Structure 1
Amino acid sequence: MKTSRRMFLSKSLATLSIAGASTAFGSKIWAQTSTQLGAFQIDTLSDGNLVLPGDFVFGAMPQSELGDILSRHNISREQVTPDCNLTLLRDGERTILFDAGSGPDFMQTAGKIGEAFDVLGIDPGEVTHVVFTHAHPDHLWGVMDDFDELYFYNATYLIGQAEWVYWTDPKTVETIGENRTTFAIGAQRRLLQIEDNTSFFKDDEEILPGVASRACFGHTPGHMAFELRSGAESLMVVGDAIANHHVAFEQPGWISGSDQDGEMAAQARISLLDQISTAQIPMIGFHLPYPGIGRVERAGSGFRFIP
C-alpha cells in the first residue's frame, strides 16, 4: 500500500499531495489527500469541522486522569473542534463515498465537501454509491443540498439494517432524549428521501466488491465500520467507532458522552483497536486530525494513534 500523505506502515514512505483552501477566518474549508490501496484510489476529503462543548464528550470521564491526557495532547476541556474526514474510493468503474457529510443545515463550520469535489474535478452526480457508517447529522445530512434536493443524485445508498430501523422508527424521536431530538427528526426526513435508492446490509457482509461491513454498535444502535480490501492489502474506515486521537486510544474503555450506548461503544472500540493494531491494518477515522489516516499500536494498557 502506498500513500502520498504519511506512512501507513513503518516501511512505507511517500510524498504529500494536498489541495486546500481557507475561509476569511483562516480555517480550512476543504482538503484532499490521495492514497493507493491495491487497485483502489482512496481520497480523504475534509468536510470542515464540528464545534462541540467539552461535556458532550468528556462529561462522564474521570476528570483528574482526563486532565493529564488532554494536557499532553493540547486539547481544550471546554470545547472540541474535531475534523470531519470523508473517504472516497475509486476503482475506474465505481466512485464510492463513505458518509455524506453535514450538508448546509447542521453547522457553519462543516458541510464543505462541495469545495473538495471542485478541486478534484468531481461532480456529485459521478458518485455511484454512498455508504453510511451511521446516521448522525455530520454523516447523513449532506445527502440534501441547499435546495433540499438530493446532492448525490445518481447514487445508490447503503446503510446497515439496524441503523435504518432505528432512525426510521417513529418512536425514536420520542425516546432519543431532548438533546438529540433534532438528530432523529433530521435523520428520518433524509432517510425517507433516499429510501427508494437504498440497500441494506448486516455485519460481516461484502456489501460491494472489496468493501466488507464490520459491526461497531454503540455510538449509534447500528454503527458500522468498513474494511476495504484490494489484493492482499486492507484499510479500515472506522467512522465514529474511534472518535478522537487521544482519550479513545489511551482509555478506550471510558464512556464517552457522544456515544448513545456508552458501554456498548467502549466494548466495540476496544475490539476494533485490538483488531487493527494486531493485524496492522491502516485506518481512516472520521474525526481524527485531518486527514485521519494512520495506524494503531499498543501502548501499555491502551493504544496509540500513529499518523
Structure 2
Amino acid sequence: MNQMISNTQLETKRKPISRDTHTDMGIVNASQELVPSRYALRLGEMDVLVISDGVLPLPTSTMATNVAPADLAIWLDDNFLPQEAYDWPLNVMVVRTGDQTILIDAGLGAQFSGFPRAGQFPQRLEAAGIALESVTDVIITHMHMDHVGGLLVDEMKKRLRPDVRIHVSRTEVEFWTSPDFSNTVMPKPVPGVLRTTATSFYNEYRDRLQIFEDKYEVAPGVVVRLTGGHTPGHSVVDLTSDGERLTFAGDAMFPVGFDHPEWQNGFEHDPEESTRVRIGLFQELAENGGLLVAAHLPFPSVGRVAVDGDAFRWVPIFWDY
C-alpha cells in the first residue's frame, strides 16, 4: 500500500543499526521473499523487530464512516489509492530485553478463508531467527481477530512455552463476554467472526492470562497502558531505554488519521472516544519526539509525528540497510 507520507525527515537520535544487531535479530539470513517482511532497530538497550503479518483487503468505506463519500474519494485520489478496496497492513512487534522476548500482538492467523496474504507472522518470526519457544511474554493490545488470531494457529498453540505470560487488560476481557457492535460499521460477517475468535482465544489461554487494570510494566522499560476507544480495553505499549522512546499504538490510528484525526473508522467500538485517544496520542508523540509503530500503518510503520496546523504529519524514519 502506498505510503501517505512527507519526504521530510525529523532529526533522529536513534543509534545506527550495526551488522552485529542484524545478526543478533536473525536479519543476515537470506530471505526468499521479494519484499522484506521484517525491520530491526535498536532502542537504547532493547532489540526491536517489526514483522509484517501480511495484508488483507478491506472496503475503503470502513476507513471513514462519518464523512461524505465524496470527501473520502478525494483523499483516496490524493494518496493514489483505489476507490473500492485497499490492502490493510498487519504489523506485529517483538522486543528483546534482558532475558525476556516479548511479542506484541499476534496477527490474523491462517485459519480464515479469503485472506491468503495474511497470517504470515509465525513463519516470518522463525525466518528472523526467533523461535516460538523463546517467547516469554505476549502483549495483546485488544482482542480483535487480526491481533489474537495468530495465537490460535496449531503451530503457535503447540510451540508456545506452557509458562508464557499473556498480558491483556481486564476491561478488554470483560468486554468480549458480551461485545457491543452497535457503533461499528463493519462488513456483515465480521462481528460474528470477531466474537468467536475472541472467545476461542480466551478459552485457549485463560490459564496463562496476566490481567492488568490500567497500566503494567511487563519488563523494565516495557509498559502496557489502557487507552480504550477502539475497543473498551484497547491498550498501547510504551518502550523506553537510555532516553529513547517508542510507542506501539495498536489500532489507535490509521493512515487517514494524520490528515483527518476526526474521521472515524468502521472498526471502532466507541468512535468518539477513539477520536479523543487518537488526538491525545498524536499530541503526546509530537511533544516527546518518540518513535511510533502501529498495527495498520504501511510496513515497517516506524516514524514520528509532527503537528501540522489542526492536523498531524507522519514522518517516517529513513531505513538503515
**TM-score calculated relative to the size of structure 2:** 0.83
Q: Which runs of 5+ in 1 are unaligned?
A: 1-5
Q: Does 2:244 align with 1:233?
A: yes
Amino acid at match of 1:166: F
Change (3 A) 1:152 1:77: farther
Q: Does 2:228 align with 1:217?
A: yes
How many equivalent residue pairs?
293
1:164 corresponds in structure 2 to 173
Q: Give, in whole Å, the separation in 2 of the partners of 1:148 and 1:117.
A: 11
Deviates more, 1:132-141 or 1:69-78: 69-78
**C-alpha displacement at 1:184, in angstroms?**
0.7
Q: Percent identity?
A: 29
* 1:1-307 pair list within 5 angstroms: 9-12=10-13, 14=16, 20-22=31-33, 28=35, 31-106=37-112, 107-146=115-154, 149-154=157-162, 155-167=164-176, 169=177, 171-172=178-179, 179-242=190-253, 244-245=254-255, 247-307=256-316
Amino acid at match of 2:54: G
**C-alpha displacement at 1:199, in angstroms?**
0.4
Question: What's the RMSD between the two structures over aligned residues?
Answer: 2.6
Q: Give, in whole Å, the separation in 1 of the partners of 2:174 and 2:298.
A: 31
Q: Give, in whole Å, the separation in 2 of the partners of 1:176 and 1:266.
A: 13
The answer to whether the Cα contact below 8 Å between 1:172 and 1:184 also exists between their aligned partners in 2 is: yes
Change (3 A) 1:300 1:7: closer
Amino acid at match of 1:227: D
Change (3 A) 1:151 1:213: same
The answer to whether the Cα contact below 8 Å between 2:89 and 2:299 also exists between their aligned partners in 1 is: yes
1:3 corresponds in structure 2 to none
Deviations 1:184-205 (A, max 9, x none): 1111111121011110112233
Deviates more, 1:130-139 or 1:54-63: 54-63
The answer to whether the Cα contact below 8 Å between 1:236 and 1:281 also exists between their aligned partners in 2 is: yes
Q: Give, in whole Å, the separation in 2 of the partners of 1:306 and 1:298.
A: 10
Structure 1 residue runs of 4 or more that deviate by more than 6 Å after TM superposition: 15-19, 173-177
The answer to whether the Cα contact below 8 Å between 1:143 and 1:150 also exists between their aligned partners in 2 is: no
The answer to whether the Cα contact below 8 Å between 2:231 and 2:268 also exists between their aligned partners in 1 is: yes
**C-alpha displacement at 1:57, in angstroms?**
2.3
The answer to whether the Cα contact below 8 Å between 2:180 and 2:269 also exists between their aligned partners in 1 is: no
The answer to whether the Cα contact below 8 Å between 2:238 and 2:246 also exists between their aligned partners in 1 is: yes
**C-alpha displacement at 1:44, in angstroms?**
0.4
Give the 3-state SS of the residue equivalent to 2:258 in structure 1: helix
**C-alpha displacement at 1:239, in angstroms?**
0.5
Change (3 A) 1:304 1:7: closer
Q: Give, in whole Å, the separation in 2 of the partners of 1:174 and 1:220.
A: 10
